[in-house]
Structure 1
Amino acid sequence: MDSAPPVIALTRLPSTTTRSDRSQSPVTAASESTALRPVSKNRQILVLVSSFLTIVITIGLNQSYGVFQAYYISPSQIILNSTDNSPALVAFVGTLASGLTWSGSIFINPMLTRISLPQLRQLCVSGVLLMSLGFGLASISSTVWQLLLTQGLLYGVGSSLLYFPILSSAPEYFNERRGAAMGFILSGAGIGGLLFSPLVRALLSNIGPRWTLRALALIVLVVSLPIAVSASPSRFLGRRPTHVDLKMALKPTFLLSVCAGFLQSGGNGLPLTFLAEYSVALGYTAAFGANLLAVNNAVNAIGRILTGWVGDRVGRQNMLCSMCLLCVAAIAGLWLGSIGDGGRKGLWLAFVVIYGMAGGGYNALFPTTIAEVFGLQAYASVNGFIYFVRGLGTMFGSPVGGQILGESKLGNYREVVIFDALLLAGATVCVVAVRGLDAAEKRAWRWRA
């Protein structure tokens, strides 16, 4: 008879028991609720690469939308019937895609504990097909509302169906080096933006918008289908909680984390949406604006890796607070300063680099601190809900910023920058408060946390 595969019990994690479990011994219940599948080095590498590429093709593509934003509102665009398109409405195409990518978590994560591995992979494949279909149908669109339904809605739903089945279990495959591993995985957002921003700009210039969108539809299929058919299961042998219970929902750390997620996502995406457009208002060419977006994404990728690595050594929550403060300083100091005296290009270039580093750090560290504050077993439920709220924040920030902006003139950006700084300052206050309250709840202050 074959022996049963070994399991690993994480006895330091809290167990979740139901009414029927009360007759079981506490040790048995804890063991069943926290038992993990063994993991091989090859499986870790597969999870690392698949998760990285998933981020590239979902978040990375979303972060390059600023190139489309600048093109769709430019007088030279040849895809939309109207030449007077609202920047706020055009911005909502990209933020709808980004928002749905994240907010789909509240529907998808509960499904993941109830389906088999073949069904999980089918879910991923359906997501890939929707993403590709979204770009394909966008290529025959001629109005902004059609782009909202295709490049926004279809692509966003599809990317969420791929993103969460792959990413929700990724932290489970890494222990001591979880910060570095997640930093590398999430650096895919910056790498994706670095690759797609100049690529999209070059394609728009050489083959036009319709064939650009068709090319992206093909790229999504080629890159994403292998990821979908090789998706890895959760390591937990028992069912993880997928809903946030009332006790968790009333915890101050949870409420503040939710608030931080909404404010940060609303503020974080706004500079990326308008980066290429603002560069043109500052006097640069559209091509140079696309290149600056690529530079920002490259620094963003480096920032995610470095801050994850440093966070493992000095404390992930400490690093998260520091990156939030740096984001606010970059927005209020450099971006706002670049508007004065008819435009200060040196300050703007400094902002592109520093904000890319700081913003990348926040996005890399936030998932790891969720696991640290709320426990690995609660990661899926808490992370899923917070990402749902982050999706709502994304759909709030850039469209409101576009409405504040009106016409894309240099002086009109001042109120947009102040709005962005206020969002990120609020997020910083919440993150710092979580750091203190988490130590108070655990009754132990640690400098390295």
Structure 2
Amino acid sequence: MENESSDNPSSTDNETPGQPSTPKQSNEIPNGGLRAWMQVLGSFLLLFNTWGIVNTFGVYQTYYESALPESPSSISWIGSVQAYLLLFVGIGTGPLYDAGYFRALIFSGSFFIVFGMMMTSICHSYWEIMLAQAVCIGIGFGCLFVPSVAIVSTYFSTRKALAMGIATAGSSLGGTIYPIAFRKLQPQIGFGWATRVLAFIMLALQAISISTMRPRILPAQKRAIWDFRAFRELPFTLFTVGAFFVFMGLYVPFFYVPSYTIQERIMSEDVAFYMLSVLNAASIFGRIIPNFIADRAGPLNVIIPGTAAACILAFGWLGVHSTCGLIIFCILYGFFSGSFVAIAPTIVVTLSPSLSVVGTRMGMFFSLGGLGLLVGTPVAGQLVLRANFEAAIYFCGVVVAFGVGIMVAARIAKAGLNIRAVA
């Protein structure tokens, strides 16, 4: 979505924010300066509070398993619904962003995520938590996701990769800090106040984003919600199907590493929760470094080996039974899984016939491919319940491997068998 705005003619810094662009302004992208970098900061904080909270669900998963009379599979639906709504709601919020409702989306999204966290703090039953933490917060995430990725590219040209890399690192940093905060606070002040503290942090950070972020331009044309012609193009269709299977398995460690660590008695309960923060901290580098390589080698040429490495590591999880081994696994898996999340949107751009349809196809890709995220972790939870963690780990590795194979087919469909071709 962020790249859709990048082909729009730019405006001068003196124009009214959100003013439609004109052709003569096309070479006047700031590409730096205080105002431009403040947009990066605002986007960083939005992603800190959206994907960062999604990446935090592992600590809630572990807590709910001990506090609620529900199976791991049922509990994981809370996190998976929340994550999928972040992607799915963007189909509707994209056209609203294009129509100039940026601030309305930011305000409404901020309200939903803070209100949802506050309501979560007073919930006692499964369905109350589902409505507050999954549905309410998920809708708020969906309102914020498009603005968080769309605005930065309108302020940068040659330094766009660096700016977007810094902004997307916010999701990993949020997933590093929030689990530590919750785990430290929950035993001392209880679940309710620990969750409310997170809500107050989110409120403060949202206030910074609201006060700093200003759209420069509006798209020259309004964006369609759906483009059925995309499915006539084999590379795009194959990549979307491949992403579905990768998403299905990719987040299993993010949801279940703390539970696995405790059940296998690798670490004490107090330390096990930090493994989720290790996963997310490593993902910061996995979201920035591969992007720079992809600019030269081609995004498909980078995402395939990176995701394949995550797949191999997933199978390697089967042999992790020590503290040292678990830390190494979390660092490496966090890095390589981050490369998939960071590069996938760029591939949608390269597989689109023109920048005028990028926004539409981005929404299609995330809503369809993200269905794997919706169902994957509950399936893994059911396997943990009915079999063991080993079955869930095999599921994680197999579905990611299947997704990688389909992405290889997408790469061949686009660039042929020439391994040196930039794709």
- For 1:308, give the aligned amino acid: N
- For 1:101, give the aligned amino acid: L
Contact 1:69 1:273 in 2 (8 A): yes
Per the alignment, do residues 391 and 317 of structure 1 end up closer, same or farther by CA in structure 2, a change over 3 Å counting? Answer: closer
Residue 251 (structure 1) shift: 0.9
CA distance in 2, matches of 1:49, 1:392: 30
CA distance in 2, matches of 1:428, 1:153: 31
Query: Deviations for 1:269-310, whole angstroms, at most 9, x for unmatched residues?
Result: 111000111110121222211111111111010111111122
Residue 344 (structure 1) shift: 4.5
Equivalent position of 2:3 in the other structure? none
Residue in structure 2 matching 1:399, options 367, 371, 378: 378
Equivalent position of 1:298 in the other structure? 281
Equivalent position of 2:127 in the other structure? 145
Alignment of 1:309 with 2:292, yes or no, is yes
CA distance in 1, matches of 2:361, 2:106: 22
Pairs aligned (count):
403
Per the alignment, do residues 236 and 129 of structure 1 end up closer, same or farther by CA in structure 2, a change over 3 Å counting? Answer: closer
Contact 1:182 1:364 in 2 (8 A): no
CA distance in 1, matches of 2:50, 2:241: 24
Per the alignment, do residues 331 and 238 of structure 1 end up closer, same or farther by CA in structure 2, a change over 3 Å counting? Answer: same
Alignment of 1:353 with 2:336, yes or no, is no
Map of 1:379-394 to 2, 5 A cutoff?
Answer: 379-394=358-373
Per the alignment, do residues 239 and 120 of structure 1 end up closer, same or farther by CA in structure 2, a change over 3 Å counting? Answer: same
Map of 1:247-326 to 2, 5 A cutoff?
Answer: 247-283=229-265, 284-326=267-309
Tell me the secondary structure at the aligned position of residue 447 of structure 1. coil
- For 1:289, give the aligned amino acid: A
Query: Deviations for 1:186-213, whole angstroms, at most 9, x for unmatched residues?
Result: 2212111111111110011211100011
CA distance in 2, matches of 1:404, 1:356: 23
Map of 1:161-240 to 2, 5 A cutoff?
Answer: 161-233=143-215, 235=217, 237-240=219-222
Contact 1:140 1:210 in 2 (8 A): yes
Query: Deviations for 1:389-436, whole angstroms, at most 9, x for unmatched residues?
Result: 2432211111111111117xxx71111111111221122122222222
For structure 1, list consecutive stretches of 5 or more residues without a partner in the other structure. 1-7, 12-30
Alignment of 1:448 with 2:406, yes or no, is no
Alignment of 1:93 with 2:75, yes or no, is no
Per the alignment, do residues 136 and 398 of structure 1 end up closer, same or farther by CA in structure 2, a change over 3 Å counting? Answer: same
- For 1:85, give the aligned amino acid: E
Per the alignment, do residues 315 and 175 of structure 1 end up closer, same or farther by CA in structure 2, a change over 3 Å counting? Answer: farther
Equivalent position of 1:69 in the other structure? 61
Per the alignment, do residues 418 and 172 of structure 1 end up closer, same or farther by CA in structure 2, a change over 3 Å counting? Answer: farther
Contact 1:182 1:368 in 2 (8 A): no
Contact 1:36 1:237 in 2 (8 A): no
Task: State the TM-score, normalizing by the size of structure 1.
Answer: 0.83
CA distance in 2, matches of 1:430, 1:138: 39
Contact 1:337 1:344 in 2 (8 A): no
Q: CA RMSD in A?
A: 2.6
Alignment of 1:39 with 2:29, yes or no, is yes
Equivalent position of 2:13 in the other structure? none
Tell me the secondary structure at the aligned position of residue 85 of structure 1. coil
Per the alignment, do residues 172 and 34 of structure 1 end up closer, same or farther by CA in structure 2, a change over 3 Å counting? Answer: farther
Residue 438 (structure 1) shift: 2.1
More displaced stretch, 385-394 vs 418-427? 385-394
Per the alignment, do residues 243 and 64 of structure 1 end up closer, same or farther by CA in structure 2, a change over 3 Å counting? Answer: same
CA distance in 1, matches of 2:244, 2:152: 23
CA distance in 2, matches of 1:197, 1:299: 15
Alignment of 1:428 with 2:410, yes or no, is no
Per the alignment, do residues 240 and 260 of structure 1 end up closer, same or farther by CA in structure 2, a change over 3 Å counting? Answer: farther
Contact 1:129 1:158 in 2 (8 A): yes
Alignment of 1:364 with 2:327, yes or no, is no
Per the alignment, do residues 289 and 136 of structure 1 end up closer, same or farther by CA in structure 2, a change over 3 Å counting? Answer: same
Residue 345 (structure 1) shift: 4.4
Residue in structure 2 matching 1:329, options 281, 289, 312: 312
Tell me the secondary structure at the aligned position of residue 73 of structure 1. helix
CA distance in 1, matches of 2:278, 2:296: 27
Contact 1:276 1:293 in 2 (8 A): yes
CA distance in 2, matches of 1:426, 1:346: 29
Higher Rg: 1
More displaced stretch, 382-391 vs 164-173? 164-173
Per the alignment, do residues 166 and 34 of structure 1 end up closer, same or farther by CA in structure 2, a change over 3 Å counting? Answer: farther
Per the alignment, do residues 272 and 58 of structure 1 end up closer, same or farther by CA in structure 2, a change over 3 Å counting? Answer: same
Residue in structure 2 matching 1:417, options 373, 377, 393: 393
Tell me the secondary structure at the aligned position of residue 355 of structure 2. coil
Contact 2:257 2:276 in 1 (8 A): yes
Tell me the secondary structure at the aligned position of residue 200 of structure 2. helix
Query: Deviations for 1:32-64, whole angstroms, at most 9, x for unmatched residues?
Result: 899858422234312221211111111011101
Contact 1:99 1:156 in 2 (8 A): yes
Contact 1:131 1:156 in 2 (8 A): yes
Query: Deviations for 1:86-145, whole angstroms, at most 9, x for unmatched residues?
Result: 11111111111111111111121122223x2xx320221011011111111111111111
Residue 439 (structure 1) shift: 2.3
Equivalent position of 2:16 in the other structure? none
